[in-house]
């Protein structure tokens, strides 16, 4: 099955870049629930939640993901709006 690359670097629903969220998270003891309460990030559709959690665990703020070219992969690519290739 074909793959598609998608850059994931923000909470789309709240237009919150992960770089900004990372800075705020440092003030909130890197607690994902407190970060969600303070910013709304990952609280609407929840699609960014896995990457917000990875950001808190690794410090990374930009993820280049290879997604399957299936319904789920196309949905995520459309949501994050930065399909590559």
What confidence tens digit (pLDDT) does each residue in 22-70 have?
999 999 999 999 999 999 999 999 999 999 999 999 999 999 999 988 9
pTM: 0.87
Write a three-state SS string for 4-23: EEEEECEECCCCEEHHHHHH
The answer, yes or no, to whether residue 85 has pLDDT greater than 70, is no
- pLDDT at 84 (0 to 100): 46
Interval 6-13 mean pLDDT: 95
């Amino acid at each position: 099955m074909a793959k598609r690359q998608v850059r994931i670097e923000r909470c789309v629903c709240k237009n919150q870049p992960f770089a900004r969220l990372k800075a705020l998270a440092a003030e909130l003891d890197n607690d994902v629930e407190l970060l969600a309460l303070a910013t709304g990030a990952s609280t609407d559709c929840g699609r960014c939640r896995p990457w917000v959690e990875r950001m808190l665990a690794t410090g990374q703020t930009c993820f280049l993901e290879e997604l399957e070219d299936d319904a789920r992969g196309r949905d995520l690519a459309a949501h994050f709006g930065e399909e590559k290739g």
